[in-house]
Amino acid sequence: MELLCLGLNHRTAPIEVRERFAVSTPQLGAAASDLATLADATEGVVISTCNRTEFYLAASDARQALVLLEARLTLRESLDAGAAVHFYRKVKSDAAVHLCRVVSGLDSMMLGETEIFGQVKQAYQAALAAGTTGSVLNRLFQRAFGVGKKVRTETSIQEGSTSVGSVAVDLAEKIFGHLKDSEVMILGAGEMSRITAQSLVSRGARSIFVSNRSFDRAEALARDMGGQAVRFDDWQRALERVDVVISSTGAPHALVHRADVEKVRRARKFRPLFFIDIAVPRDIHPDVADIEEVYLYDIDALEQLASEGRTRRQLQIEHCERIIDAELAKLNLPGT
């Protein structure tokens, strides 16, 4: 038996192609069963996430099975012959290494992300339940999960924040600990503030206040996020109670000045206040950072931290690959 993998991902195929091959989670078992009916194939697993669809097979002749599988997919999706450029093909040990890289998050759009581990596990379990796995794929996937865990525990591939939103959330947690008692105010109903605020809410932030020059937009965003709209003239009053302020208005000059914060310090009992200024030009005057209990981060500071996080993860790739090679070398996996 030989192991093979045919797949496409965010690097090889545009979304228009990827979405044609996407398989919904409840259909993963049926897709694996269908895969295993391919002439010559004995086992099959289908992995499908928003960024990739991959078909893992065990067949007596890997090259022959690849040709058959590709032809079947092209025919089913009515793709022209040019579609072949979107696929990558891995056989034997290359396929095993590739799966370990996928499970470890090394092949993900966001390097080191952890969600993929669960998604692959789900795909494998669906195939297992459908009875389409055997000695080759069972050992391969179990080994890959072990390698994925080892990579995560022995390297810092998943450490640090790599996007502006996640940096802001991590900083908020470093200041306030659990966010369940934290209240957030959004100044300006822009997309970036919405995403950042959503991240804070997903980590438990208690309530959201939205203030925008257009009250209708503030109300719409507040409704979306289960928060409360605040008239733009009243944002200073809301400042008395909130812990985090995310600002991204299109104002041509600073909106929050030192005096605005000084005014509410007593009422706030000098509690820490975290300003996330993602607007350009900046909404928060830099002088605000001179207030003792204020932590101010503008878009450059956040982007720099995210970039450092990405660089740190990049530096870990080689270490992760060494672990994968060493772990796979320990076993004589069938099909490789």
Partner 1 sequence: MDRWFLLIATLLAAIGGIWGMISVHRGTRSHWTVVWMVAVLLCQLGFLSIRGQLRSACPLHDLGEMLVFLAWSLTLFYLLIGPAYRISLLGVFSAPLVFLLQSAALIAGLLTTSSTPDFAPNIFHSLHSAISVLAYGVLALAGVASIMFLVLDRQLKVHRLKSGLFRNLPPAHELLVSVERLLWLGTALLTLGIIAGFLMPPTTPLHSHLVVALAVWVGYAALLAVKTLRGLTGRKLALATVALFILSLVIFARI
Q: Which residues are catalytic?
A: 50
β-strand partners of 6: 55, 89
Q: 35 vs 245, which CB is nearer to partner 1?
A: 245
Q: Provide, rounded to whole angstroms, the least separation between the CB of residue 174 and partner 1.
A: 6
For partner 1, the binding residue among 127, 137, 171, 201 (CB under 8 A) is 171
Residue 134: both structure tokens together: 């055997």
Tell whether the torsion through CA atoms of 94, 144, 315 and 51 is positive or negative. Answer: positive
293 binds partner 1, rule: CB under 8 A: yes
Tell whether the torsion through CA atoms of 210, 213, 278 and 295 is positive or negative. Answer: negative
Q: How many residues bind partner 1 (CB under 8 A)?
A: 22
For partner 1, the binding residue among 272, 280, 315, 331 (CB under 8 A) is 272
Q: Are the beta carbons of 334 and 142 closer than 8 angstroms? A: no
286 binds partner 1, rule: CB under 8 A: no
* Tally of residues, the chain: 336
Q: Are the beta carbons of 180 and 198 closer than 8 angstroms? A: no
Q: Provide, rounded to whole angstroms, the least separation between the CB of residue 165 and partner 1.
A: 16
Strand, helix or coil at 336?
coil
Position 95, amino acid: A
- Residues numbered 305-334 forming contacts with partner 1, rule: CB under 8 A: 305, 308
Residue 103: both structure tokens together: 């499970």
175 binds partner 1, rule: CB under 8 A: yes
Q: Provide, rounded to whole angstroms, the least separation between the CB of residue 287 and partner 1.
A: 14
β-strand partners of 89: 6
Q: 293 vs 327, which CB is nearer to partner 1?
A: 293
289 binds partner 1, rule: CB under 8 A: yes
Q: 111 vs 273, which CB is nearer to partner 1?
A: 273
Q: What is the DSSP string of 159-172?
A: -S--SHHHHHHHHH
* Angle CA 272–278–280, to nearest 5: 130
Say how far apart CA 86 and CA 253 lie, in whole Å. Answer: 47
Q: Provide, rounded to whole angstroms, the least separation between the CB of residue 55 and partner 1.
A: 40
Q: CB under 8 A: which stretch of 6-14, 114-122, 244-252, 266-274 binds partner 1?
A: 266-274
Say how far apart CA 336 and CA 320 lie, in whole Å. Answer: 20
269 binds partner 1, rule: CB under 8 A: yes
Q: Are the beta carbons of 266 and 292 closer than 8 angstroms? A: no
Site string for partner 1, 83-122 (x = CB under 8 A): ----------------------------------------
253 binds partner 1, rule: CB under 8 A: no
Q: Are the beta carbons of 328 and 100 closer than 8 angstroms? A: yes
Say how far apart CA 87 and CA 9 lie, in whole Å. Answer: 8
270 binds partner 1, rule: CB under 8 A: yes
Q: 167 vs 255, which CB is nearer to partner 1?
A: 167
Say how far apart CA 327 and CA 190 lie, in whole Å. Answer: 47
Q: CB under 8 A: which stretch of 5-13, 107-115, 246-254, 268-276 binds partner 1?
A: 268-276
For partner 1, the binding residue among 271, 319, 322, 330 (CB under 8 A) is 271
Give the binding site for partner 1 (CB under 8 A).
156, 159, 171, 173-177, 266, 268-272, 289, 292-293, 295, 297, 301, 305, 308
